[in-house]
Structure 1
């Protein structure tokens, strides 16, 4: 029997260079919502040994044992809020990490055309692999949730959100069981205390924003050296985009 007073924990699964931080800003601007920024990042860096920007600061800022992270994200909601929006990167979930904790989450998936992701990521970090972008892990997590629910969970294409923020956020809120709040459409500029320490390197654009950027039609230019990475990400993206929310 479900507890009607239990908090709603939203796990938004995406890869990097999406609109994931803008989505976090949107939910944080709700008075009823706490947010968490990539809580598994330090554990991921610590275990993989990968050299990311601000690696040392990231590792020092969060638990490095994935089990401790799970205890946190399934524990008491910050400030006792009724909604907890958790921004998760799919590639942070290493193969040996247990996933049973996700069964109690409202799991949602945020996707973006890999051509734009590859081009944007390469501008911030020269080395890029398909694993860095998380598409294959995202489809594994998606399939797991589908098996658990017997139906597809919410999938948002970032371009759709930018084209129609109110419509897409309203549809998402309906799917996770919370009312839409117009406060989600705009927020004050600048960094947040809730941002990960890595925001100093990655969040310049979103820190300058006060809402979702207007959508503009453009073509992403994928460097020739990264075309194999782009092509490797196409199949999982094309599978996920078939399930995207449409309003």
Structure 2
């Protein structure tokens, strides 16, 4: 069996990570996996997310078991794309990332926060996952790997991303059918309503947003980590 290329997307919330997962799902050579460490994260933190009981019931709760028996398992296709949220790496040894390619998906903090507070009205820095993204990027650099970070501009960026990952660009990655997809996690009804309406990457339009005064300290922290990660941008 040919060696498997494991691509690990380390994202934060509201960063169109699900759309990027759908994009890779269009490739005939790729299997995609939606947040394999989500149940582990819910169990360790005790957080009461929408659909918590369902997630814990259907997904392996032990993060190390997920890594050993799922992430590092054999896969039927030559490429496997794991969508991770970086804050889910609690009590997880990230050494397995060195076996694959790691990609950080980031979004301008004011745009991210304005969307995130619709579901989480009082977010913390930990919930944005930016600090965790940077800590993992620092760790990768210490291991001799240069991280990749992505600010999505569909075709041009996807072409360069595929080249950086050592795979060919497939135009099918720019489009998909609307609606739920078989690779969705069981939490999709609570979080993916917007992406289920999409059929591909639209033209990016920066929204004019105002972040409340109470969230300005958090926004400043997010901007700091965002700028650090942006230095690795494709």
TM over 0.5: yes
Superposed CA RMSD? 1.3
Shift >3 Å, 4+ stretches: none
Match of 1:138 among 125, 133, 141: 133
Match of 1:87 in 2: 83
SS at match of 2:233: coil
Compute the displacement of 1:13 (Å). Answer: 0.6
Does 2:115 align with 1:120?
Answer: yes
In 1, are the aligned partners of 2:134 and 2:229 still within 8 Å (CA)?
A: yes
Compute the displacement of 1:76 (Å). Answer: 1.8
Compute the displacement of 1:153 (Å). Answer: 2.2
Q: How does the TM-score come out when normalised to structure 2? A: 0.95
In 2, are the aligned partners of 1:119 and 1:223 still within 8 Å (CA)?
A: no
For 1:12 and 1:149, the matched residues in 2 are separated by 19
Match of 1:29 among 19, 26, 30: 26
Does 2:96 align with 1:101?
Answer: yes
Q: Which runs of no fewer than 5 residues in structure 1 stay unpaired? A: none
SS at match of 1:124: coil
Match of 1:74 in 2: 72
Match of 2:148 in 1: 154
In 1, are the aligned partners of 2:108 and 2:226 still within 8 Å (CA)?
A: yes
Compute the displacement of 1:142 (Å). Answer: 0.7
In 1, are the aligned partners of 2:36 and 2:66 still within 8 Å (CA)?
A: yes
Match of 2:192 in 1: 203
Compute the displacement of 1:70 (Å). Answer: 0.4
Q: How does the TM-score come out when normalised to structure 1? A: 0.90
For 2:14 and 2:111, the matched residues in 1 are separated by 8
For 1:195 and 1:7, the matched residues in 2 are separated by 22
SS at match of 2:115: helix
